[in-house]
Structure 1
Amino acid sequence: MIKPEVVSEIFEKAHVEDVVGDFVHLKKRGANLIGLCPFHNEKTPSFNVSPSKGIYKCFGCGKGGNAVNFIMEHEHLNYPEALKFLAKKYGIEVEEKELSPEEKQVADTRESLLILNEAANNYFQYILKETSEGKSIGLSYFRERGMDMKMIERFALGYCPEKREDSFTEHALSKEFQKKFLIQTGLTKEGQRGDYDFFHGRVMFPIRSISGRVLGFGGRTLRSDKQIAKYFNSPESEIYNKSKVLYGLYESKSAIVKKDKCYMVEGYMDVISLHQVGIENVVASSGTSLTDGQIRLIRRYTPHITILFDSDNAGVKAAFRGIELLLEEGMKVRVVSLPEGEDPDSMSQRLGKEAMETFLEENAKDFFTYMCDTLLKGPSQDPIQRSEAIQEIVRALALVPDKIERSLEIQNIALRLGVDQKVVINEISKSQRNHAIEKQKERERKSLRTTQEAPLPGIQDLPSETGVLVDRDVPVEPSLLDTMDNRSQERDIIRILVKYSTEKLMVEYADEDSEEESDEMQTEEVSIEEYILDELSHERHIRFKDSFCSKVWALYQAAYSEERSLNVESLMRHPDQTISAGVAELLTEKHELHRWEERKIYPKHETEQLLEMVDAALDRFKLKTIQQMIKETQASIRSVEKDPQELERTLNKLNRLNNLKMKLSERFGTVILSA
């Protein structure tokens, strides 16, 4: 367990904008920051961060919370793990005991795989730097490639020994790591002569998540035997999905945001060599075609990407499909073609930072210009080949979502190809229709597979709490209100408590203890917290059914009975994510009034009418509860029809409830519809 004072220090240092900014490219908008949500795919930012409140909220998918909640959600960690993650980021020491073998077995598979990969990475680094085999083979190779120790350490490079007696497999088993996890990560293989390291005799490149955790490895052989694959990669596992990872993004994300541009290269060494000369806004696809998941990773940090190609024309044409995915996601794509025989690794080492940056800037072409140059290259005037090339260009152009950008490209391409603009526009429209049809068919196929694979839900699969979440600012028809539970009313009570618990109200009451008869009312100043808790504590039938509301209400009741205050900070830092994330959601305003004073319109803020707001919220909550009690009482009549006394009691109860319903309705003018 982490000490409370350490938890407080973590929360104090972990500013939400700083934590979220490591994963999302944030831009200033008023007092808040906005960006593309990392939890769902979107092209228009709906993800908001409020530094003053210390919270984030996505109005697209609904995710929200504080800095710790963000790490829990994004990195799939529990509360203590998220605290340790942030403690490491801010250099805060957290005392931990070594896990026993029994505790290691209890740890979930995902965390066990991540811990194992981290241990492997540390071992490979140790072998590279501290052993004779590592120094003479692995370290020598990196130095021959022009790499200094700073880069070796930044990218955590290592070496997997050739000898079985020095293998990581033997080392890991001696440290009581489970063999099944060694197999799952791909670090160990089973053979006729026993278990052995999959990467033996290879220099190691750890593939890290954007938070720095080791997900997998790439290993390069140093043998000249052409029958042996030059590179091995970790197999896909619960933690490693190559379609959702980009090599170097962890090391490059800050530079990508700063430069608002990302260079895309092919290999590990290309990334490291560019970093070494000072060009740090670069990632690698590791030889695979670009995927939707990888593109979305880049788009979190910048919409601008420049692809670096070597002179292999066949390879360039094969890569066009990946670039089309970039276009479809709204990325601004440029391409640089390197001179024959060069790659980013060799060229950056030869030119150095300034000359390399100059070359990249001067030779970067808009993708469609580059596509025209590539597909229409050479003297051939074969009309069929030319027609096919134009159709390929138009198909890519049809994917550009920005209408202005697409219109400008149409003008340029029509001029370049000597084709009428109307012809290009017509072909684009046809291509868009065909693309939409294919997308629809793909969705239908996916839906059909899901339907065939998924079992029909039983009663046990249905959510235990039903109801519709209603925006408190949207008026609801009474008929609709009658069909819902009171979740909306419950959340409004909790919202008021969270936001205004310490605010004071001047409350009037009759002095019942006075011996003199008088119509004069007494006034008393009380906090909103006291007012609400006192008002509802007398209502024995009042119960909060929503899980979040029930938990927060219990915390306020406990604090009230112990005569202590419950502040927002303690709720925001609560280890139960249901509470901390829920409170963050209540504190987030989706819409803000904008410059109304310039129009001489001065709408009242909630703080100017607190008593009226609190009373209305309490009355609506009570009314909804009574409406539910009426339905339950009406439903019970049939079961007591044969018992005259019980029937009379039930009807009297129903009468009292209906009278209460009418009185509460009259207070704020709710229309009561007859059943």
Structure 2
Amino acid sequence: MITKPTIDRIMEATDIVEVIGEFVALKKRGANYVGLSPFANERTPSFTVSPAKGIFKDFSSGKGGSAVTFLMELEKFTYPEALKWLAKKYGIQVEETVDTTENLEEQNHRESLMIVSGYAAKFFHESLLETEEGQNIGLSYFKERGFNADTIKKFELGYSPDQWEAFTGEAIKQGYQEQYLVESGLSVKRDNGSLYDRYRGRVMFPIHSFTGRVIAFGGRTLKSDKNVPKYVNSPESEIYHKSNVLYGLYFAKRAIREEDNCYLVEGYADVISVHQAGVENVVASSGTSLTVEQIRLIGRLTKNITILYDGDAAGIKAAIRGLDIVIEEGLNVRIVLFPDGDDPDSYVRKVGSSGFLNYVKSNSKDFIEFKSEILLKDIQNDPIAKANAFTEISKTISLIKDDLKRSEYTKIASQKFNISERQLIGIINKNISDELRKKRQSEERASEKLIQEENNIEDETSINTGLSQKELEAIAYSDANQEKEIIRLLLLYGNKMIDWDGIANTYIGPFMIAELSDVEFEQPVTKHFMEIYRQEVENGVLPEEQHFIHHPDKGIVDLVVTLLATKYTLSENWYEMHKIMVPDEQANMKATILGAIFHLKKQKVGKILESLRKELQTTSAEADQEILLNQYMHMKKVEKTISDYLGSVIIK
């Protein structure tokens, strides 16, 4: 367990804009920063960071919280993991207390996989540098590829000994469980139940998460036997999904943001060689077909991507396959093909960083220009081949969401294919209409299914309670809103002094807690919040919003951030421009605070009255009826008192 003083130091040092800025491209807007949501696919920024409050709010997904919460949501960290990541970033030494229960067994399954992968990376790296076999075989190979000592250390390159159980045996000896060795793919289980090393005799390329932890490996054989696969990669696991990972992104993310461009290559060696040459904004799809998730990872950092591929036929086909998916995600794409026989790795080693960058700059082509040339190549006068190529390029242009961009590319393509612009516009518009119709039909089918499910739920609920699902939701929604309003006021004004007629020299927080001592909060998260707040007040502390923003309970954090964050703010010139006065709740704090308290009490009294009415209808004993009736009349008087204050009229 991390000690409270350590947590406080971490929170004080953390700059939420700086932390989130490592994962999302943020732009200043007024007092806040905005960017595209990393949790949802959006084109208009709805992700907001407030440095003053130390919170973020994603209005697309509803997620929100502190820098710690952000890391937990995005990287699936546990609370301690997120704190340790921040501590490492800001150079804070973590002090921990021993919790024997938690230390006897790892906190969770995912963390256990992370730990065993980290141990494996260390084992392979030490095998490379400190064993005779590793130096003679693995280190010699890396040096032949031109990788220097700093690069080998930075990327944590390694070597797996050419023995059946070198790694597995040592891992088990060190106390790592077989379950996690197998699940991570580091070890393979034989039919008889024994284990052996998956990567024996291979040089190792650790694959890092966005935050730098080792989550998987790629192992390359150095043998010439054609029956031995050249690369063996980690299987899918709880911590590794290859469609969501780009090799080298952890080392490239800062450079990608600074250069506002990302170079996309194919393999591990391409990334390492180009990075070592000083061109650090480079990542790889690791030999897999480019996925939407990978493109969105890049899109969080930049909207510009340059795809670097081999000049052979396979490289050209790979480039074309990856184009449409990038265009559909709204990124600006350029393509560079290297001379036949070269790839980014060999070319940068041949000409150096300046020669490499000069070649990329002078040979990069816009995607429409590139794809048009590839499609038109070798079709000669074949009308069918030309028609197919024309259909293909029109489909690609149809994916462009921006109207101006689409118009410009239409002009370029019409010239390339020697076809009238009007004709091409007609085909593109038809493609767009067809896609919209398919999407609408799909949404309608999904909507019909949802309505049917809701009707089934409503029918079942009505049988059990006598109330429809919508009626129940209305009751719950009303209660939840009243309870949340109380919490919002506690967060904003709990530490402010009361200076009202008849009430003074006390704080709003303790006053509200005392006034609500007879009210039971029903929503689990609001009830928990009130328990925490009440306990702090009893301890002589007035908890402020930061106390809850950094709370370890995610439900509390979500609630608080939702109440504190707003998507819209009035400009300073709002009144001058529109002559519309927006009421200020602080102008009459007495009405604001007491109004919220009595609205909640009125809501609770109404529910008690409804419950008493139902009991009166089902109770036959006269004595019981008299007791219930007395209770009912008492609650009616309470209701009238509340209503008189609120100035409302109860319909009898």
- Give the TM-score, by structure 2 length: 0.91
Kindly state the Cα deviation for residue 443 of structure 1 after the two structures are TM-superposed.
7.6
Alignment partners' CA distance in 2, 1:104 and 1:557: 35
Q: Tell me if the contact between 2:151 and 2:276 (Cα under 8 Å) persists in the aligned partners.
A: yes
Kindly state the Cα deviation for residue 100 of structure 1 after the two structures are TM-superposed.
8.2
Kindly state the Cα deviation for residue 416 of structure 1 after the two structures are TM-superposed.
2.4
- Is residue 190 of structure 1 aligned with residue 189 of structure 2? yes
Q: Which residue of 2 aligns with 1:83?
A: 83
1:71-220 equivalences under 5 Å are 71-95=71-95, 103=103, 105=105, 107-164=107-164, 167-191=166-190, 195-220=195-220
Between 404-413 and 579-588, report the one with greater CA deviation: 579-588
In 2 relative to 1, CA 272–656 (structure 1 residues): closer, same or farther, beyond 3 Å? same
Q: Which residue of 2 aligns with 1:474?
A: none
- Is residue 497 of structure 1 aligned with residue 496 of structure 2? no
In 2 relative to 1, CA 592–99 (structure 1 residues): closer, same or farther, beyond 3 Å? closer
Alignment partners' CA distance in 2, 1:444 and 1:343: 47
Letter in 2 for 1:610: M
1:440-479 equivalences under 5 Å are none
Letter in 2 for 1:644: E
Between 246-255 and 554-563, report the one with greater CA deviation: 554-563
Kindly state the Cα deviation for residue 206 of structure 1 after the two structures are TM-superposed.
0.7
Aligned equivalent of 2:513, options 533, 550, 569: 533
Partner of 1:189, secondary structure, is strand
Q: Tell me if the contact between 2:260 and 2:301 (Cα under 8 Å) persists in the aligned partners.
A: yes
Aligned equivalent of 1:609, options 562, 582, 588: 588
Q: Which residue of 2 aligns with 1:473?
A: none
Q: Tell me if the contact between 1:482 and 1:627 (Cα under 8 Å) persists in the aligned partners.
A: no
Q: Which residue of 1 aligns with 2:281?
A: 281
Partner of 1:298, secondary structure, is helix
Kindly state the Cα deviation for residue 617 of structure 1 after the two structures are TM-superposed.
1.1
- Is residue 62 of structure 1 aligned with residue 62 of structure 2? yes
Between 393-402 and 552-561, report the one with greater CA deviation: 552-561
1:388-399 equivalences under 5 Å are 388-399=388-399
In 2 relative to 1, CA 300–658 (structure 1 residues): closer, same or farther, beyond 3 Å? same
Kindly state the Cα deviation for residue 410 of structure 1 after the two structures are TM-superposed.
1.1
- Give the TM-score, by structure 1 length: 0.88
Q: Tell me if the contact between 1:10 and 1:83 (Cα under 8 Å) persists in the aligned partners.
A: yes
Unmatched segments (≥5 aa) in structure 2:
462-466
Between 439-448 and 61-70, report the one with greater CA deviation: 439-448
- Is residue 419 of structure 1 aligned with residue 398 of structure 2? no
Q: Tell me if the contact between 1:507 and 1:526 (Cα under 8 Å) persists in the aligned partners.
A: no
Q: Tell me if the contact between 1:124 and 1:204 (Cα under 8 Å) persists in the aligned partners.
A: yes
Kindly state the Cα deviation for residue 399 of structure 1 after the two structures are TM-superposed.
0.9
Aligned equivalent of 1:506, options 479, 499, 502: 499
Q: Deviations over 1:266-316 (max 9, x none)?
A: 001111111111111111001111111111111111111111122123442
Alignment partners' CA distance in 1, 2:340 and 2:472: 73
Q: Which residue of 2 aligns with 1:646?
A: 624
Between 422-431 and 365-374, report the one with greater CA deviation: 422-431
Q: Which residue of 1 aligns with 2:604?
A: 625
Between 122-131 and 83-92, report the one with greater CA deviation: 83-92
Q: Which residue of 1 aligns with 2:568?
A: 591
Aligned-CA RMSD value:
3.1
Aligned equivalent of 1:567, options 536, 540, 544: 544
Kindly state the Cα deviation for residue 559 of structure 1 after the two structures are TM-superposed.
2.7
Between 579-588 and 543-552, report the one with greater CA deviation: 579-588
Alignment partners' CA distance in 1, 2:476 and 2:269: 62
Q: Tell me if the contact between 2:55 and 2:64 (Cα under 8 Å) persists in the aligned partners.
A: yes
In 2 relative to 1, CA 493–187 (structure 1 residues): closer, same or farther, beyond 3 Å? same
Kindly state the Cα deviation for residue 458 of structure 1 after the two structures are TM-superposed.
13
Kindly state the Cα deviation for residue 121 of structure 1 after the two structures are TM-superposed.
0.2
Q: Which residue of 2 aligns with 1:464?
A: none
1:184-333 equivalences under 5 Å are 184-191=183-190, 195-333=195-333
- Is residue 26 of structure 1 aligned with residue 13 of structure 2? no
Alignment partners' CA distance in 1, 2:191 and 2:50: 59
- Is residue 376 of structure 1 aligned with residue 376 of structure 2? yes
In 2 relative to 1, CA 615–481 (structure 1 residues): closer, same or farther, beyond 3 Å? farther
Q: Deviations over 1:296-345 (max 9, x none)?
A: 11111111111112212344234423221111111111111211111101
Number of matched pairs = 638
In 2 relative to 1, CA 99–490 (structure 1 residues): closer, same or farther, beyond 3 Å? closer
Kindly state the Cα deviation for residue 567 of structure 1 after the two structures are TM-superposed.
2.6
Between 210-219 and 370-379, report the one with greater CA deviation: 370-379
Alignment partners' CA distance in 1, 2:184 and 2:473: 53
Partner of 1:91, secondary structure, is coil
Q: Which residue of 1 aligns with 2:523?
A: 546
Kindly state the Cα deviation for residue 604 of structure 1 after the two structures are TM-superposed.
4.4
Kindly state the Cα deviation for residue 373 of structure 1 after the two structures are TM-superposed.
1.0
Q: Tell me if the contact between 1:507 and 1:525 (Cα under 8 Å) persists in the aligned partners.
A: no
Unmatched segments (≥5 aa) in structure 1:
462-466, 468-477, 510-522
In 2 relative to 1, CA 212–426 (structure 1 residues): closer, same or farther, beyond 3 Å? same
1:573-584 equivalences under 5 Å are 573-584=550-561
Kindly state the Cα deviation for residue 633 of structure 1 after the two structures are TM-superposed.
1.4
Provide the identity percentage.
40
Q: Tell me if the contact between 2:316 and 2:337 (Cα under 8 Å) persists in the aligned partners.
A: no
Alignment partners' CA distance in 2, 1:10 and 1:68: 10
Partner of 1:486, secondary structure, is helix
Q: Deviations over 1:213-251 (max 9, x none)?
A: 111100111112222111110011111111111101111
Q: Deviations over 1:52-102 (max 9, x none)?
A: 111111111111111111122222232223222222222222245899899
Q: Which residue of 1 aligns with 2:464?
A: none
